[in-house]
């Protein structure tokens, strides 16, 4: 997918969500006007309208570029990794879905699992999995890092701040 196409889809999604917010989200989840001051819906409506207007403006610009056969500056039209083979790590660029899934899923599982299983156990497993995902194949190092980090944060939270760690307590 080209960058312009991706941006156009993003603007369409944003415009769609803005319309949904203006027609349903804000009216349904904002208190009624109390009769004095500004309406509670005013600022949310203004901010969503700005988003919608800017999305439409950006779509219009892309439309002009496409239909009038104009060229868009390369740094806006092409992904940085395509402009320069050595670009390597760039902030703006293609979304690496596999990478995103492999790093986010262990975190989401940790949030869900920690409510039911003790912190010590879940944190240790999470850190082991996370290190494996980012490519650490030194098992001894992984185990040592996981144990030390779990224990240090437990001690800091429990005895430093007096905050119970999440999930069922075993100590």
Partner 1 sequence: MEMIIAGLLDSLSPASLLFVFVGVAIGVLIGAIPGINGPMAIALFIPVTYYMSPLTAIGFLVGLNKGAFFGGAVSAVLLRTPGTPEAAATSWDGYPLTQKGKGEKALRMALYSSVAGDFISTLVLILIASPLAAVALFMGPAEIFALISLALTVIAGIGTNSICRGLMAAGFGVLVGLVGTEPVTALPRLTFDIYQFGGGISLIPVAIGLLAFSEILLQLEKFTVKGGGEHTIHVFSSKLEDRMLPLKEFFANTKTLLRGSLIGIGVGAMPGLGAPVASFMSYDQAMKRSKHKEEFGKGRLEGVAASESANSAVVASSMIPLFVLGIPGNLAVAMLMGAFMIHGMQPGPLMFQENAQFMYSVYGSLLIASLLLLVIGRLGLRFFCRAVNIPAMILYPIVVFTCIMGSYLGKSSMFDVGIMLAFGFIGYYMRKFDYSYVAFLIGFILAPEWERALQQVVIISEHDTYMFFQRPVAMTLMALTLFVVVRTFWHGINKGRKKRQVEEAAAKAGQHKSD
Give min distance, CB of 11 to partner 1, in A: 9
Binding test (CB under 8 A) with partner 1, winner from 23, 84, 87, 136: 136
Binding test (CB under 8 A) with partner 1, winner from 63, 66, 138, 169: 138
The answer to whether 52 touches 15, Cβ cutoff 8 Å, is yes
Report in angstroms the alpha-carbon separations of 16 from 10, 27, 31, 42, 61.
10, 16, 23, 20, 18
Give min distance, CB of 32 to partner 1, in A: 8
What tokens were used for 159? 């005895």
Binding of partner 1 by 71 (CB under 8 A): yes
What tokens were used for 57? 């403006």
The answer to whether 122 touches 167, Cβ cutoff 8 Å, is yes
The answer to whether 142 touches 128, Cβ cutoff 8 Å, is yes
How far is it, in rounded angstroms, from Cα 157 to Cα 152?
9
Contact set for partner 1, span 11-70 (CB under 8 A):
14, 21, 25-26, 29-32, 34, 36-38, 40, 42-44, 47-48, 50-51, 54-55, 57-58, 70
Give min distance, CB of 123 to partner 1, in A: 7
Give min distance, CB of 43 to partner 1, in A: 5
| Cβ within 8 Å of residue 60, ≥6 positions away | none
Binding of partner 1 by 109 (CB under 8 A): no
Binding test (CB under 8 A) with partner 1, winner from 82, 145, 147, 158: 145
Binding test (CB under 8 A) with partner 1, winner from 111, 151, 155, 170: 111
Binding of partner 1 by 151 (CB under 8 A): no
């Amino acid at each position: 997918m080209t960058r312009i196409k991706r941006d156009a889809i993003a603007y369409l999604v944003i415009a769609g969500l803005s319309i949904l917010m203006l027609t349903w989200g804000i009216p349904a989840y904002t208190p009624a006007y109390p009769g004095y001051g500004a309406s509670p819906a005013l600022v949310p409506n203004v901010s969503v309208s700005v988003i919608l207007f800017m999305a439409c403006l950006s779509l219009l610009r892309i439309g002009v570029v496409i239909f009038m056969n104009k060229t868009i500056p390369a740094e806006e039209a092409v992904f940085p990794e395509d402009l320069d083979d050595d670009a390597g790590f760039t902030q703006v660029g293609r979304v690496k879905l596999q990478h995103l899934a492999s790093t986010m899923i262990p975190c989401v599982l940790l949030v869900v699992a920690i409510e039911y299983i003790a912190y010590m156990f879940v944190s240790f497993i999470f850190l082991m999995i996370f290190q494996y995902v980012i490519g650490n194949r030194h098992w001894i190092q992984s185990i040592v890092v996981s144990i030390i980090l779990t224990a240090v944060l437990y001690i800091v939270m429990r005895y430093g701040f007096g905050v119970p760690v999440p999930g069922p307590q075993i100590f």
